[in-house]
Structure 1
Amino acid sequence: MILAFITSLLTQEVDQINVEQYESLEDCLFQELVDRFEQATGNSRALYTEPPVVDMDPITISIDYIAIRHVELMGQTSTQFSIHGEMRLLWTDPRLKFDGKEWKMDSFILHEDHHIWSPKLVDESYTGICKAADGCWNERHRTTLISDGTVVAVYSFRYPSYCVVDYLRFPEEKNNCCLFFSAEDDPHYIKFEITTKSKTVLDRTVPIKPNDVYAMSHENSAWTVEGRTIDTVKVGGFRPELLRICVHAVKKMGTLRTAIRFPITIATMVMLVSPLFGDLRTQIFVKLFTLFLQTISFIYLCAMAPTLFVLTWISMILSLLALALCRIRRTVPPSHKIFLVAKMINRVVCCVDPDPSIPYQRNFDDTPSQRNVDSPGPDYTIEWQHIYIAANNLFSFIAFIVFVFIAILEIF
């Protein structure tokens, strides 16, 4: 009677069969595969207890789709994320091949998922620690068998992740959280192959996990997920490869960032325009004061402080070097073109009078009456002083332009 029912279904067109009849035909096809395997091996249980290993070759598990459904912060003060997502896996099982023309279907849905072998994926970081009662789980569903023996299954998972926080750009630090999946049964026979995009851009806020399981509302944290990556890694030479799924988040703290950055930005601008305050000695005092302000800002861990410390020290060293060189007597004249360019820079940048009759009395302790008293002969010290001061002023001018340009880019 069952054979007559199957024959009647196979003689009809697929679009003429209702849903219940189609499901019955799928069940009959799978039972045919089980009976065929039992006749060949005498053990039908091996169809779902033993992996389809041929000549000890590893089984290739392809991942052609992955989606991150939900990312949740484990606690108000925590930096650990709980990741909930799903992925579609494909592998080949030669024991499940069938003739699509005979059965008038190229694929069918498996209604009893536990009747075939499938990889049991577990997260390596929390194996044996996080149970279903703690919110950790994974399950296989929507399993499809294709006539060439390919098995397609969707895995859903939810696990706490292993996170690494990068505090370089505090208060807007970055958080990289990953899951590491391996096959629980025999990982040495499993080889992962990624056919989907390895990187995907996301834009999703991260809510805080509520203490009440039945809470209807969620409080969003300052974290925002910006992307997802998937790849394979090996941890140790003797261990099999792991499937790594990561989410990359950044903390959005615009108000705090502005509050921390504003005072140190103003202090740096004052330091860079120090040539407008007069002689080199005054410039050095101005830079020491701005260095003090930057140190105070560094106490609050301003993200720009390390870069600004470098800029301040370079500018201060150049000013001290220029001051030291200006005290050395020069008997060799500089290039006339360089001297003219230096005079122009001093007049335009810091408004210093380049008239030789006023030999930078406000820059140095020397006076015109002291020049050439102890050392008769040619003296081109004043000309070289123009060049040294111009080099110091030119650096401050270029650094100021670059700093303002970068600050505007970071704001917008």
Structure 2
Amino acid sequence: MLAIVTRMRKSLSTLALLCAALFGYAFAQFPPGAGTSLDVCKYFENVTDVQTLTSHEYVAYEQCLYYFLANKAQHTNVRFGTIHPIATLPPTYAEDAPKSVKVQIGQITLQHFQLNEFLKDLQIVGYMQMEWEDKRLAWDPSQWKVDKLKIHAASHIWIPVLSSQAFDTSLRNDDAMEVRKITVSPRGNVSAIVSYSLKTFCDDTDFRHYPMDIYKCCYQLEPHFHQEIIEFGIDGQPVFTDPKYFRDYGWSVSGTIPTVNLDPRVVSQLNFCINLQRSTNSVKIELSVATWVGSILFVCSIFIGSIRNQILVKLFVLLLQFLALQLFSNRIAPHLGASAATPVLLAVHEFAMVMNTLSIVASVIILMMSRIRRTLPPWNWLIKASQIVNRFVCVFNTVGESDEVEMEKGGNSPSSNSFSGSRYQADWEAAFVAIHGLVTSLIILIFLLGYLLIN
């Protein structure tokens, strides 16, 4: 055991002597302070054409330019005692800088959208261009042979952080923004692409025009930090859709021109809206054909013939209208709007069903009154009026088969009283035919006027 311990001590002594020798050699070759004089960016001092640099050398050259600007900003803002001021302090801290930062919003592009018709909210994904000026990032192009500096990380410089305000309260959890593709010009003009994913509630008060209704979904962007110094500017271009990635999914999408709030007493705001109109013609045809077929048959029922035939046709039309109502319930019920508006097609269908029901009731009452046997003739003015109506409006001059049989029976009877009773009954039936024609015509006229008012 003692021998083993002695051997371990000798080995450790030998290892210590070897380490001391290596450290002494390194100290002799690289004395203290020699490494502090090395500067990697000195390698690029004699560069006259950046085109001769390789890709990794050009990236290193951009890093040297960035650290040169960051070191300059550090010395300028040393009185504030801020670490890395070029990334933490806004551009208003630069020398001779204005008191506010003008953030110019360029083209807003929409790449994808997702509409939830049950919750009435819209989520959009896309990007927009953003520009602002930061004098601390300006450099001399004659000294640094580049006309554009690419910032590889958004945390390296100060950027305006935006947030979407769904209401006047706070930021929504479903919203996200990312600043990328940041470039700087020699004058200090910074441009960037902001990718966004925003969500908002939509205004569906246009549900009256279903299935051609319009959803109006508006968004509001505000500065999340430094709200008192940031001002928005716009270029007057509407919201665009990216033809490479955008899919309409059966909706006609249009964007408004963004607007800004220029009132200095409130926080600067950027507002824009997305309008979505349903463009599925199959749904429109499916709903409109059922409505118009029932309405046209109801209007044309007056030309069918006798009162009994008209009642049968109107009952058939009423059955079709009830079947169409079930179709409306299956189609529209899942998309009922938040407002009390009723779609025009459904309102027309409802009005046609009510008028058809009133017409059926009126026809049944008049038919029942015409079947009552009477022994006295109608008033003279009623006979003349019914003759005028039935003569000039030929569609009302219709007599049922039972009426003709009764008239033939009355004509073959030898009794003058029977003949007179049949004659009186014929006059009464002609009068009721004229009354029925006028009543049904009035109901159809009311329906046509109501249709014009509903539209």
Tell me the TM-score normalised to structure 2 length. 0.55
Task: State the AA in 2 paired with 1:22.
Answer: Y
Choose which of 157, 178, 200 in structure 2 pairs with 1:139: 178
Task: State the AA in 2 paired with 1:19.
Answer: S
Question: 1:354 Cα deviation (Å)?
Answer: 5.5
Determine what percentage of the aligned residue pairs are the same residue: 20
Once the two structures are overlaid, the 10-residue window that deviates more, 81-90 or 296-305, is: 296-305
Choose which of 208, 220, 224 in structure 2 pairs with 1:180: 220
Determine if contact 1:294/1:305 at 8 Å carries over to the other structure: no
Cα 1:237–1:61 change in 2 (3 A) is closer
Choose which of 153, 166, 173 in structure 1 pairs with 2:192: 153
- Does the alignment pair 1:244 with 2:271? yes
Determine if contact 2:134/2:188 at 8 Å carries over to the other structure: yes
Query: Could you report, residue by residue, the CA deviation over 1:95-140 in whole angstroms, capped at 9, with x for unpaired residues?
Result: 222122331222110123212211111111284551xxxx642221
- Does the alignment pair 1:21 with 2:40? no
Counterpart of 1:246 in 2: which secondary structure?
A: strand
In structure 1, C-alpha distance between the alignment counterparts of 2:179 and 2:132, rounded to whole Å: 14
Larger proportion of strand:
1
Task: State the AA in 2 paired with 1:61.
Answer: V
Determine if contact 1:205/1:224 at 8 Å carries over to the other structure: no
Choose which of 137, 150, 153 in structure 2 pairs with 1:109: 150
In structure 2, C-alpha distance between the alignment counterparts of 1:236 and 1:195, rounded to whole Å: 18
- Does the alignment pair 1:62 with 2:104? yes
Partner residue in 1 for 2:413: none
Query: Could you report, residue by residue, the CA deviation over 1:234-258 in whole angstroms, capped at 9, with x for unpaired residues?
Result: 5999532322343333445555433
Question: 1:7 Cα deviation (Å)?
Answer: 1.4
Segments of structure 1 that go 5 or more residues without pairing to the other structure are 207-221, 315-328, 330-345, 347-351, 363-388, 404-412
Partner residue in 1 for 2:45: 7
In structure 2, C-alpha distance between the alignment counterparts of 1:232 and 1:8, rounded to whole Å: 49
Partner residue in 1 for 2:67: 31
Task: State the AA in 2 paired with 1:174.
Answer: I
Determine if contact 1:291/1:309 at 8 Å carries over to the other structure: no
Tell me the TM-score normalised to structure 1 length. 0.60
Determine if contact 1:27/1:111 at 8 Å carries over to the other structure: no
In structure 2, C-alpha distance between the alignment counterparts of 1:288 and 1:28, rounded to whole Å: 88
Equivalences for 1:200-211 in 2 at 5 Å?
200=240, 204-205=246-247
Choose which of 159, 162, 169 in structure 2 pairs with 1:121: 162
Task: State the AA in 2 paired with 1:246.
Answer: C
What count of residue pairs does the alignment treat as equivalent? 321
Partner residue in 2 for 1:320: none
Equivalences for 1:196-275 in 2 at 5 Å?
197-200=237-240, 204-205=246-247, 224=251, 226-234=253-261, 239-251=266-278, 254-270=281-297
Determine if contact 1:63/1:193 at 8 Å carries over to the other structure: yes
Query: Could you report, residue by residue, the CA deviation over 1:226-279 in whole angstroms, capped at 9, with x for unpaired residues?
Result: 233351255999532322343333445555433332222013334555775689
Counterpart of 1:26 in 2: which secondary structure?
A: helix
Counterpart of 2:273 in 1: which secondary structure?
A: strand
Cα 1:3–1:140 change in 2 (3 A) is closer
Partner residue in 1 for 2:371: none
Determine if contact 1:63/1:195 at 8 Å carries over to the other structure: yes
Question: 1:152 Cα deviation (Å)?
Answer: 0.6
Once the two structures are overlaid, the 10-residue window that deviates more, 297-306 or 142-151, is: 297-306
